[in-house]
């Protein structure tokens, strides 16, 4: 598919879509247009059956024998190998387990350990808040640690100097969808003598990522957005092969030990990325993510990116044409090459507008103070649904149907 096809009808685009048949492998409620895959991916039909087998057969009948008989032990590495091709990593370079925040803590602390003479972390003020909180937590443990935050629109590379230990960035901005230039920023970090840490939570499964080719040092990412691993799906960790044998894992745990069942009191790290396992892996959630990742045996990230670009282009063009003068302002990059899999618009009453959309069966999300976010997951989203979503948005804004008290009451999760 090329951008020249965007003006075609939705029916023509859906008929030519090589990914269209995948929609039937997902469980999406009738009448729902799901535009929140950048926050929580949809359920694949095989996952419930997989979890049922793990619970009833492997756990219920196999009991502890299943650690060997069904190889629960190797799941963090096996699922990591499924993720590796999507992020430009090799086999045996990715391990899966724990939350994204825990994984970020581990790699940042490990990176700092490789830079003992440096005490500055460079990041962005607009980075995902949890990432900033983790850095603040490390600062509490290391009072001499300085955190420099690039302001909106400022190039983080400007803050790098001879005292910088790490550059810590999210590749795709969670609010705007802006794709940062991983290669350029990693090169800038290396020129300054710093290491580059990347959060790929809004990248993996929606845009091509090239960790090894870019020269990156560390990366983490989540499993519940475009990878569709389920709510709270475990995160993954990658460390450049040239570094992994040198790093000290700050949250050393027994299944990251070289020989965990020797039960020795002294910690000896396992070879390679396995040392980044902290405690016992989450077998149920790993099984769900493992099942979700099987879809990538049939498709390529290039196909996904091509369809995503067409869909986000189409959405922007139609919203701007049909909602002109109704209070929306594009907050995502207009250029597709630097825009990820989401489109964001600002509106003074953004929260109420989104609630009105959700009431109409068009599910996106809201980010304070005024951002409507729409995530496009090409694995299950059709072009016809995009057109219907624009219809609903235009009708809501034109009729001001968002101006209803039931849409203004803030809920805990937005």
**Domains of the chain listed by start with CATH number:** 3-43+300-408 (3.90.1150.10), 71-297 (3.40.640.10)
Q: Which residue, 176, 187, 177, 189, is CA-closest to 123?
A: 189
Distance of alpha carbon 365 from alpha carbon 36, whole angstroms: 7
Contacts of 185 (CB under 8 A, 6+ apart): 156, 157, 167, 169, 196
14 in active site: no
Establish whether 128 is a catalytic residue: yes
pLDDT at 11: 97
Catalytic residue, candidates 105, 373, 374, 383: 373
| pTM across the whole model | 0.96
Are 305 and 312 in contact by the 8 Å Cβ rule? The answer is no
267 assigned to active site: no
**Number of other CB atoms surrounding residue 374 within 10 Å:** 30
State the 10-residue block means of pLDDT for the chain, 414 residues long. Answer: 62 97 96 97 97 98 97 96 98 97 98 97 97 97 95 97 98 98 98 98 98 98 98 97 96 94 96 95 97 97 98 98 97 98 98 98 96 98 98 98 91 83
Max intra-chain CA distance, the chain: 69
Which residues of 20-163 form beta strands (DSSP E)? 26-27, 33-34, 43-44, 94-96, 120-124, 146-150
pLDDT, position 410? 85
Q: Is residue 199 among the annotated active site residues?
A: yes
pLDDT at 139: 95
> Looking at 105, 174, 224, 315, which residue is catalytic?
224
Look at residues 91, 105, 166 and name the one whose alpha carbon lies nearest to residue 137. 105
Catalytic residue among 36, 98, 131, 199: 199
CA 10 to chain centroid: 28
Is 407 one of the catalytic residues?
A: no
- Cβ–Cβ under 8 Å, residues 108 and 135: yes
Catalytic site residue from 118, 148, 225, 314? 225
- The pLDDT score that the predictor gives to residue 4 is 46
Question: How far apart are the C-alpha atoms of 144 and 219, rounded to whole Å?
Answer: 24
Options 128, 174, 376, 407, the catalytic residue: 128
Please tell me whether residue 195 adopts helix, strand or coil conformation.
Answer: strand
Which residues are CB-neighbours of 195 under 8 A, at least 6 positions away? 111, 114, 115, 165, 166, 167, 189, 217, 218, 243
pLDDT for 2 equals: 47
Q: Is 308 helix (H, G, I), strand (E, B) or coil?
A: helix
Classified as helix, coil or strand, 117 is coil
Check residue 409 and give its pLDDT. 85
């Amino acid at each position: 598919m090329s951008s020249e096809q965007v003006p075609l009808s939705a029916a023509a685009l859906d008929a030519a879509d090589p990914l269209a048949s995948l929609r039937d492998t997902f469980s999406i409620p009738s009448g729902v247009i799901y535009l929140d895959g950048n926050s929580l991916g949809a359920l694949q039909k095989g996952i419930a059956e997989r979890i049922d087998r793990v619970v009833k057969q492997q756990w219920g009948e196999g009991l502890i024998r299943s650690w060997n008989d069904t190889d629960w032990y190797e799941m963090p590495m096996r699922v990591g190998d499924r993720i590796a091709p999507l992020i430009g990593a090799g086999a045996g370079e990715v391990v899966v387990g724990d939350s994204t925040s825990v994984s970020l803590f581990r790699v940042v602390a490990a990176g700092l350990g490789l830079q003992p003479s440096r005490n500055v972390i460079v990041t962005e003020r607009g980075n995902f808040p949890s990432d900033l909180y983790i850095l603040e937590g490390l600062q509490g443990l290391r009072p001499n640690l300085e955190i420099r935050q690039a302001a909106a629109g400022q190039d983080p590379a400007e803050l790098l100097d001879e005292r910088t230990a790490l550059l810590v960035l999210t590749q795709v901005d969670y609010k705007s969808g802006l794709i940062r230039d991983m290669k350029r920023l990693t090169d800038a970090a290396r020129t300054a003598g710093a290491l580059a840490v990347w959060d790929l939570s809004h990248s993996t499964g929606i845009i091509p990522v090239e960790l090894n080719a870019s020269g990156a040092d560390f990366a983490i990412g989540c499993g519940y957005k475009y990878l569709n691993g389920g709510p709270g799906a475990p995160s993954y960790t990658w460390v450049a092969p040239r570094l992994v044998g040198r790093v000290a894992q700050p949250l050393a745990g027994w299944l990251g030990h070289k020989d965990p069942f020797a039960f020795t009191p002294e910690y000896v790290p396992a070879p390679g990325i396995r040392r980044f396992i902290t405690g016992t892996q989450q077998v149920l959630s790993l099984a769900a993510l493992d099942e979700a990742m099987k879809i990538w045996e049939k498709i390529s990230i290039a196909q996904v990116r091509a369809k995503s670009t067409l869909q986000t282009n189409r959405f922007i063009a139609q919203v701007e044409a049909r909602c002109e003068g109704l209070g929306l302002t594009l907050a995502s990059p207009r250029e597709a090459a630097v825009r990820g899999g989401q489109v964001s618009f600002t509106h003074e009453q953004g929260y109420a507008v989104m609630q009105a959309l959700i009431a109409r069966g068009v599910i996106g999300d809201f980010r304070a103070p005024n951002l409507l976010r729409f995530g496009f997951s090409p694995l299950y989203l059709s072009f016809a649904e995009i057109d219907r979503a624009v219809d609903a948005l235009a009708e809501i804004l034109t009729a001001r149907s968002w101006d209803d008290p039931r849409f203004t009451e803030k809920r805990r999760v937005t």
